[in-house]
Chain A
Amino acid sequence: MKILLSGTASDSHTWNLVYLRLFLEELGYEVVGLGPCVDAELLADACRRHAPDAVVLSSVNGHGYRDGLAAVRRLRAEPALAALPVVLGGKLGVAGHRQDDDVARLLDAGCDAVLGDDLAALRGFLAVRARTEVPA
């Protein structure tokens, strides 16, 4: 199973991405890493080019809600990417606590899961996708 791992548009943090890549590879996934500051257009391009089985977005700079929403909307606007599993992790806002309204809007926009910093939940989310993956 191939995972596309990406930072969000305004977020230049990278240690989270370095760590997640190792974490995902150790779970046995193939990882394509896009690095930091990936805007919605670049993300959509990369999804078309790499055809991942799931997208993991990581945002820690406090703009996760805003940037994540733009990213998910852009992917869902494209028929070929409409069903691609997308999970957003990290921080949604600067407040440091989970905003239920923000989570609801992200899910409405087509995000499959909003996970905060729960690595076990990420592992579970991907395990379900891996099991349901149609063999090539």
Chain B
Amino acid sequence: MTAHPAGPAPSFGAFVTASAAAGRLVVQPRMGFGDPRAMRDGLARTRAATAHTAGTLTVDSYTRVGDLAGARAAVADGTRLNGYPIAAHAPATTRAVLDGLHGAGFPVQVRHGSARPEPIVRALLAAGLDATEGGPVSYCLPYGRTPLRDSVAAWVRACALLAEGARPGSTPHLESFGGCLLGQLCPPGLLVATSLLECLFFVRYGLRSVSLSYAQQTHPGQDEEALRALGRLAAEFLPADVERHVVLYTYMGVYPHTERGALRLLEDSARLAVRAGAGRLIVKTAAEAHRIPTVDENVRALETAAAAAALEEAPGPDDGADSEVYLEARALVEAVLDLHPDLARALPDAFARGLLDVPFCLHPDNPGRSLGFIDPAGRLRWARTGAMPLRPDAAADTAPLTADGLLTALWHVAGSYDGRRAPAGEPPDGPAPGGGHDHSSATPLTV
């Protein structure tokens, strides 16, 4: 059990910063239920877990795509939703869900996946919440066809709503999902750059407390470089008085199928977070390869991660060397900032010119000329960089990517943790942004 001091003005960012100063990693689940009682139970059990936790309220996919009528109809006819329809329930209902749980010792973040988040931001503010996540790029390109410029305009308005709408005395918090994007097979330099650029965008539009995300990839050393690069670039580019922390996501791609493999991957992510100075970890459960996890499974994952984190040494000082990830990310960030100081203009321009180019992303506004690969040491590198200010890796295999090659790459991490390779000819479970956002990879990759 963790002590939960009561207090009137819980602030998500301050909670994580204070925890980090005390040497405690904040662990957080992915969790959303349509039924308010189930949602409250999930939050209560997250709070009661033997771990230093933050709560999550993930919205359903109707709300995510802006179909509020659909969300209300589902609530009215009792349809089971894949998340909490925060804009369909009355603010009083959500306040009752949070009452006595949400507080200074237990902040709650709303997670959604929406390219047009204003209704969600209004609803969370009305319920007394002030922490959420996403971003104009990271919640647009991987999640459908909303034009990037429309997403940017919507996020400008959402940032202003959040920055100005919170209760007096509280500091609204916004996390960039830019370090996750499609979840896998994106070299870390671009993930780090996107996360930093989105946080700069948030600050430009009024936020004073942000977090920079990164999803665990294929190589622990490279992941550590990426997390340290995020912290360093944040210090270099964000105003000094903006509160910030780094959040790590346990691997988001095809997950190990064995209980043991899944557990080891989760524990490795917790150790990585501590070792590289991240303040918060979004966990994943062993069940996730097959289906949406239960609250029990989520609590087990939180406690497992917390136990692994507690045994890891605190991070050593950064040696100050410019890692490959740092240099790549910095080149991308500077190229984008050179286009225009206002990121609401620079970000769409950067994609239009190909200065940013997300591998495997099919969005119409993504250039689609870049390609990543996993090198023999297990690091993610660039096979093609399109018009980005980066060089492709000299060691890149010049053979074109094949369907089998893609499967092998998608299965790389799962296979190494399960102690086996991708089964020949069998399509993998798809790492799956969207659909059930935050419940990624439960869906088979099929025809």
Contacts and interface: CB of A to CB of B under 8 A. Distances in A.
Partners in one complex: yes
A58 B436 CA distance: 17
Interface stretch (A69-77, A116-124, A128-136): A116-124
A84 B363 CA distance: 26
Q: With a 10 A CB-CB cut-off, give which of A17, A18, A117, A118 has the most chain B CB atoms.
A: A18
Nearest to B143: A12
- Classify chain A's interface size: 20 to 34
A60 to B, nearest CB: 5
Interface string A54-67: 00101011100000
Given A22-B402, A23-B403, A33-B362, A13 B447 contact: no
B435 A117 contact: no
Contacts of B430: 13, 15-16, 60
Interface in B422-447: 425, 427, 430-436, 443-447
What does DSSP make chain B's interface, helix, strand, loop or mixed? loop
Contacts of A60: 430, 432, 435, 443-446
B434 A61 contact: yes
Interface residues of B, number: 32
A90 B401 CA distance: 23
A12 B144 contact: yes
A109 interface: no
Nearest to A57: B447
Nearest to A89: B447
B441 to A, nearest CB: 9
Contacts, number: 99
A93 to B, nearest CB: 12
Interface string B286-324: 000000000000000000000000000000000000000
Q: With a 10 A CB-CB cut-off, give which of B361, B433, B444, B447 has the most chain A CB atoms.
A: B447
A33 B143 CA distance: 16
B364 interface: yes
B406 A22 contact: yes
A32 interface: no
Nearest to A16: B445
10 contacts: A13-B430, A13-B435, A14-B433, A15-B360, A15-B430, A19-B427, A35-B364, A36-B434, A58-B447, A60-B446
Interface of A: 10-20, 22-23, 26, 33, 35-38, 56, 58, 60-62, 89-91, 115-119, 122
Nearest 7 pairs of A and B residues by beta carbon: A12-B434, A89-B447, A117-B446, A61-B435, A35-B362, A22-B403, A37-B144
Given A14-B360, A16-B447, A119-B427, 13 more contacts: A12-B435, A15-B431, A19-B403, A19-B406, A20-B447, A22-B406, A26-B403, A35-B145, A35-B363, A35-B364, A36-B434, A58-B447, A61-B443
